Structure 1
């Protein structure tokens, strides 16, 4: 009974209630602005609230966290410029949907299933946190390597028939992701003596250029053509039967999101990419081909990245280990207020844990409310003529690039990636695999090298792929995925039919 009262505290305490509401609404708006990452926003909130009461500060930060991750989908869908890394996969089908006049449908589905994914994440956080944490902490470097390789196999799914070009783009992306200082050996790679390249290429900068500026340059070629605004379909809220059709898939990808989110360092972007691939592999009859405006292509990544937030909070509150960059800031907030994150936190400050669970639950309710209420506000973006909209997006892109490190060098990098992305689009080379390589390259590099260094020679390294249940399961999953991507199963089935 006491636990239920603690969970309901944010709902019954008007101060906490309004802080969660304000944080969620502000997070949605700020998350929709490319370049203003959730990590940066939560860090700013921490600096403004360090003198507040702990529960008040955490309520506002949690609202911003959930709202910011969700808000990034608005820009992904409407202008093909992901608001954050975890919204990259949303743009694969969200933007084509908007281009087909179904922006309202895409925004509505992403809102509903972000809510579903977020609630699943919170439920797991509140009921299975210690179990999930013990599972996640047992992940070895070899397991992270397999997880990253599974993500890299998305190249086939994202290449839209140009698999060879997609593999090439992914390879280039991996090389770009490796630029900078080697985190293991301490040396430098591909820096060519430049001090500014020592810190590597910022992923957000690459994102803004490859998706944002390249789209602006590409759209400039079609200024005299009719835009989306001329054929925006009439607003009709989808019927309940239509919404429930996607519920089983959303539950599956939400579970994926929770477990990936609970892995320290994995993050919502990997969860969203894996969920997108899961949807593409399991959905038999989508309304359209994936990459052309499939509803499932919007639902899967949004449910997964929202569920990943609940997953990321699990190692924070149970083990004192941040699940991603944002939860690392939450650790700082707890330290500032004299608390020690870790196994004893739930015993010594159980009320804090349950209030955070309640605040997270409330934030997802506000996501559903605000997300549906302001669909019309966001939808006006696609009705703005391109001659007005494109310069505004260009200015936002430049400001977002500069604001990350207050550096003009980042702006130049963004413009460079924009030109590269523009050339790739003209030559029908898929951009998504390049982004995939930039994201997964560093993880593949560090996890492979650490796994090999911890093995006794090459034989010991190979044996490690079958010596623990988690690794064995991931290895089998990887092998089956490779066989599925190469269509080997279909070939065998065809030959058996002929014989």
Structure 2
């Protein structure tokens, strides 16, 4: 069967009565779960697997794909309204989404997130349809050195572009690296920094750290500033209408990061988290007004939201074409494929085209359903901000506790949640950025794994990293990123002197 015939069959599946029904069910469930802090697409898909027993495989998989990108689409809501990211991929959304909500622009922030997500997902679905086989071949050429260099670039870039002192940002990243080493070494089986505590053998879950550093720290701020009128300002969500100026400002980031996010999503192991951080850093670097980032910038919100949804769609390329999960969520989806008797990989397109093309075609329909659902519901969703302060604090704490406990059913993780909440408060007080910490924690384990794999292959020869043009390109950009704080400091100093002389 040729590509055109496969696409036609895919749209027949997606736009059949059953296809529309199960896509709608999937995105509704995904959006509802994505809104709740602590529950993400992995949990949603894992819960859905038993429900799909006995279903037609193509419709079951279409529904679970809808759950995936629906959860990604909806997870920005809690990040914008409560500064509480429930998934790693929405951490970057808090940087400018939450400040917009604090300024009484929650409605606009949610509308920007909805439109950017729709554009990113739709453009990526088009690329997925056109370039899936070719991009899968490109992704498989990336080995351990390329992944290590790419991840190092991501961490250095987000650290260098962080607000405030770059020294504090690098210390924050180092702390993230230190925390990720806790647990059993996956290669040698050696216990590392567990201090005899059995509960630390498996390491520390991302959710514990994210909710501690962001949500609990924010709760502390709400309690500390309980006498101010910020809630009254935040409760006024403002208009959800986007002006021509807003759309014009969003157009550039949406076009750029639809492509960047999709390409990063194609790389197995990269995923939406790396895409969102890299897009945020890239957009900040391109901006003529970088100081606006972190204070409610439209571009700062548009870039990661577009990239996250594009990367989520892009992660289906290695899954469908190679049978290799492109992210943690698609790893769970791979299990769902196997449970339903479908083997993803190079033969899927020819042996089961209705599944391959049906999933891709359903993404167009899913994105349309998501934008239709989310935009009209924004005024109702944003009413979360009108909740009285004591109740809001209680809800955030409940979400945090339930979200963390539901992952491992361990009371020890609740103590860790409190510990990282204290760390988050201290970091806020000392003006240490949390983003480098989180990104170093997320990527640290993968960086170590890829670095050690390459050293094993090369028999300990580090020079192998400098014989690859792709790696050298990434390392060159990394060095430039390292120089950014120095250049920025000198430019700021010179600019300040010039202004003083003209006064």
Cα distance in 2 for residues equivalent to 1:429 and 1:285: 22
| 1:464–1:236 distance in 2 versus 1, CA, 3 Å | closer
Aligned match of 1:466: 467
Aligned match of 1:476: 476
Q: Is structure 2 residue 189 aligned with structure 1 residue 173?
A: no
Contact 1:466–1:475 at 8 Å: present in 2 too?
no
Contact 2:240–2:378 at 8 Å: present in 1 too?
no
| 1:409–1:256 distance in 2 versus 1, CA, 3 Å | same
Aligned counterpart for 1:45 among listed residues 48, 62, 66: 48
Aligned counterpart for 2:190 among listed residues 187, 190, 195: 187
Q: Is structure 2 residue 437 aligned with structure 1 residue 434?
A: yes
| 1:208–1:10 distance in 2 versus 1, CA, 3 Å | farther
The one-character-per-residue Cα deviations of 1:447-477 (angstroms, maximum 9, x if unpaired) are: 222222222544xx2243233x432332332
Cα distance in 2 for residues equivalent to 1:425 and 1:193: 30
Aligned match of 1:243: 247
Secondary structure of the structure 2 residue equivalent to 1:261: helix
Cα distance in 2 for residues equivalent to 1:489 and 1:347: 57
Contact 1:158–1:432 at 8 Å: present in 2 too?
no
Contact 1:158–1:430 at 8 Å: present in 2 too?
no
Cα distance in 2 for residues equivalent to 1:187 and 1:445: 15
Q: Is structure 2 residue 274 aligned with structure 1 residue 270?
A: yes
Contact 1:27–1:63 at 8 Å: present in 2 too?
yes
The one-character-per-residue Cα deviations of 1:99-130 (angstroms, maximum 9, x if unpaired) are: 11111111111110111111122111111011
Aligned match of 1:134: 137
Worse-matched range after superposition: 89-98 or 186-195: 186-195
Matches within 5 A, 1:57-456: 57-157=60-160, 159-230=162-233, 232=236, 234-240=238-244, 242-285=246-289, 289-456=292-459
Gaps of 5+ in 2: 499-503
**1:158 offset after TM fit, Å?**
5.5
Q: TM-score, normalised by structure 1?
A: 0.93
Cα distance in 2 for residues equivalent to 1:75 and 1:233: 14
Secondary structure of the structure 2 residue equivalent to 1:8: helix
The one-character-per-residue Cα deviations of 1:125-164 (angstroms, maximum 9, x if unpaired) are: 1110111111111111111111111111134456321222
| 1:247–1:466 distance in 2 versus 1, CA, 3 Å | farther
Cα distance in 2 for residues equivalent to 1:157 and 1:116: 29
Cα distance in 2 for residues equivalent to 1:464 and 1:336: 39
Contact 1:271–1:308 at 8 Å: present in 2 too?
yes
Cα distance in 2 for residues equivalent to 1:417 and 1:158: 24
Worse-matched range after superposition: 425-434 or 143-152: 425-434
**1:183 offset after TM fit, Å?**
1.3
**1:242 offset after TM fit, Å?**
2.8
Cα distance in 2 for residues equivalent to 1:422 and 1:130: 47
Contact 1:227–1:386 at 8 Å: present in 2 too?
no
Cα distance in 2 for residues equivalent to 1:399 and 1:332: 26
Cα distance in 1 for residues equivalent to 2:60 and 2:342: 14
Aligned match of 2:32: 29
Cα distance in 2 for residues equivalent to 1:124 and 1:353: 14
The one-character-per-residue Cα deviations of 1:1-34 (angstroms, maximum 9, x if unpaired) are: 6334323225531122021112112211111111
| 1:74–1:157 distance in 2 versus 1, CA, 3 Å | farther
| 1:194–1:22 distance in 2 versus 1, CA, 3 Å | same
**1:346 offset after TM fit, Å?**
0.8
**1:243 offset after TM fit, Å?**
1.1
